[in-house]
Amino acid sequence: TIHICPFNFADAVLCILAQRLVQTLCANCKQAYHPSKEEYDELVREYGAEEFEKDINIPYLPDLTLNKANGCEACNNSGYKGRMGIYELLMGTDEVKRLIQTNARMEEIREQAIKDGMKTLKRDGIAKIFEGRCDLIRVRKVCMK
């Protein structure tokens, strides 16, 4: 462990950025499909139903499409080509700094950061699934347990 004075650290924090790279679906061969209600419900549950409605608000309808890997020569039949970042940005708000100064548990700091508007890695990844840029398999691989 690194022993840093919490007061000095909290005072210095502007923001903290976490990043994971996730493979992107190949633009040449990604295949659109209609997800099952169970798959949709899993994405909403993983995102958080209330937050999903507020942030993404895509209802389950017959014309809902997501994309999945297919495979072609351009991606060596893997279905994936390139990588993109999924991000989590914790802002050093006054309340987050106060929690750091009082040696609060990481979970408390995380909960406060989410209240202050932080989008988690998982939520950013799920948003990119709905944008058609990646799939649940790859997002789960890098940031979901």
- Could you read off the pLDDT tens digit of each residue along the chain, which spans 145 residues? 678 888 888 988 999 999 999 999 999 999 999 999 999 999 999 999 999 999 999 999 999 999 999 999 999 999 999 999 999 999 999 999 999 999 999 999 999 999 999 999 999 999 999 999 999 999 999 987 6
Other beta carbons within 10 angstroms of residue 80's beta carbon come to 20
In the prediction, which pLDDT does 143 show?
86
In the prediction, which pLDDT does 6 show?
85
In the prediction, which pLDDT does 76 show?
97
As a whole number of angstroms, the distance between CA 142 and CA 124 comes to 12
Chain mean pLDDT for the chain: 94
As a whole number of angstroms, the distance between CA 128 and CA 25 comes to 11
Q: What is the value of pTM for the model shown?
A: 0.88
Q: Give the ranges where 1-145 is alpha helix by DSSP (H).
A: 6-12, 37-47, 49-55, 94-101, 106-115, 121-130, 136-143
As a whole number of angstroms, the distance between CA 51 and CA 45 comes to 10
Residue reference for tokens 């006054």: 94
In the prediction, which pLDDT does 3 show?
80
In the prediction, which pLDDT does 1 show?
65
| CATH architecture, domain defined by 6-143 | 3-Layer(aba) Sandwich (3.40)
With 0-12 / 13-18 / 19 or more C-beta atoms within 10 angstroms meaning exposed / middle / buried, residue 83 is middle
- The two structure tokens encoding residue 12: 């210095």
- Bridge partners, residue 22, by sequence: 84
Domain ranges of the chain: 6-143
In the prediction, which pLDDT does 145 show?
64
CB 60 within 8 A of CB 91: no
